[in-house]
Amino acid sequence: MSGATRRVVIVGDSIAGCTAARELRALGHDGPITMVGCDPDGCYARPPLSKRVLAEGVGASDAWDLSDLDLTAVTALATGVDVERRVIRLAEGDDVPYDALIVATGAAARRLAAPDQSGELVVRSLADARLLRERLENATSAIVVGAGFLGMEVASACAARDIPVTVVDVDPPLQRILGPFLSDAIAARAAARSVDVRRVDRPVELVGDPVGGVRIDGIESTADLVVSCVGEVPGTHWLDGSGLGDAGGVDIDDRCATAVSGVFAAGDVTRGSDESGRVRRTPFWSNAIAQGRVAAASALDLPARCTATDDYFWTEVLGLSIKVVGPLPLVGAPTVLEGSVEDGSALLEWTHADGRRTVVAYGMKKAVGLLRRMVS
């Protein structure tokens, strides 16, 4: 099939899908591109939702302009794919045929509430962030379930408004992603800012309908605001029966190709193998961009202009920006290259057993390009 007639369909219109569309055009594809997305708020960046949007309002989230890409944007829920006939089924409207398909349906917030329990707050979409911001206006107490980066960012938004907040998790803050050294530093910073980070033995249960508290190790605690930040669920339900992955994600190789011919995948919906062969998801912004670019090239049978992994990650916790470039997890103590962790401004370096390095700008202003050069 010539490039001019190849119909590329992208399902999912967030960063992985939009990057794929942009890369298709950058690689010279002048054939039809259809992008299917189901969020009524359209295409926007998620990282500001738990940061600037909670602090400044929804205007702080940029909507993306794709008008230069000459694509057909369809606002609809994709409900299925027939990989034999190569068509996408929609909840409403005609089937969408494709020659190459890029699955970029990301993930949804994992929820803890029982199916009939109302009022659980999460932060995944602009609508979620809008509601949470409204609720923050009048809240006098908050409980955040989950001390990962999202939970700690929401706790930071509460602390910035002087709302007493308790964060509960079975693990110490950010330990799963950043390792024990930085987790200890963040726990100390939280304690100094009266953020009550509580470690629990068992996963907590939400109580009330609407949700108004949690049951922690058998004891109920209530708050004006209870927010679940307990990870995400890959958006694969619409792929049931297609052979494209399972509830844990869509498996991809280093070309972002799936097990099904003509189908590629990118972003939070995917699952891949790391250098040691371990299968895992890496649901981060930079990775979604890298995979979107690689999936686009592969959909055109062209070589990719970058690799399908990008190990840059950042978060903003309790007034600190933390930028990480390099492999995770971070085991043991780092070399302090500049500044001091206690002062909230440090440049840190870890050297891994295989000789690779990870650098972290902890509250210290450093350009990502510089951090990348340091580890390369």
Pairing of strands 33-37, 8-11: parallel
Q: How many residues sit close enough to ligand FAD to count as binding (CB under 6 A)?
A: 36
Q: Establish if 77 lies at the interface with ligand FAD (CB under 6 A).
A: yes
State how far the Cα of 109 lies from the Cα of 125, in Å rounded to an integer: 9
Q: Which is nearer to ligand FAD, 110 or 199 (CB)?
A: 110
Helical ranges in 6-106 per DSSP H:
15-26, 52-56
Q: Are 122 and 70 contacting, i.e. CB atoms less than 8 angstroms apart?
A: no
Q: Establish if 315 lies at the interface with ligand FAD (CB under 6 A).
A: yes
Q: Which is nearer to ligand FAD, 100 or 216 (CB)?
A: 100
Task: Kindly tell me which residue out of 14, 166, 175, 258 binds ligand FAD, with binding defined by CB under 6 A.
Answer: 14
Scored b (16 or more CB within 10 A) or e, 107-140 reads bebebbbeeebeebbbbbbbebbbebbeebeebe
Phi-psi region of 179 (alpha: psi -120 to 50; beta: other; left: phi over 0): left
Q: Establish if 242 lies at the interface with ligand FAD (CB under 6 A).
A: no
Q: Which is nearer to ligand FAD, 30 or 240 (CB)?
A: 240
Task: Kindly tell me which residue out of 21, 36, 295, 346 binds ligand FAD, with binding defined by CB under 6 A.
Answer: 36
Q: How many Cβ atoms sit within 10 Å of the Cβ of residue 34?
A: 18
State how far the Cα of 229 lies from the Cα of 40, in Å rounded to an integer: 23
Q: Is the dihedral of CA 185, 190, 192, 196 positive or negative?
A: negative
Site for ligand FAD in 40-69 (CB under 6 A): 46-47, 49-50
Q: Which is nearer to ligand FAD, 213 or 283 (CB)?
A: 283
Q: Establish if 124 lies at the interface with ligand FAD (CB under 6 A).
A: yes
Q: Establish if 285 lies at the interface with ligand FAD (CB under 6 A).
A: yes
- Find the shortest distance in angstroms from Cβ 279 to ligand FAD: 18
Residues forming the site for ligand FAD (CB under 6 A): 11-17, 36-39, 46-47, 49-50, 77-78, 104-107, 123-124, 150, 235, 238, 267-268, 283-286, 288, 313-315
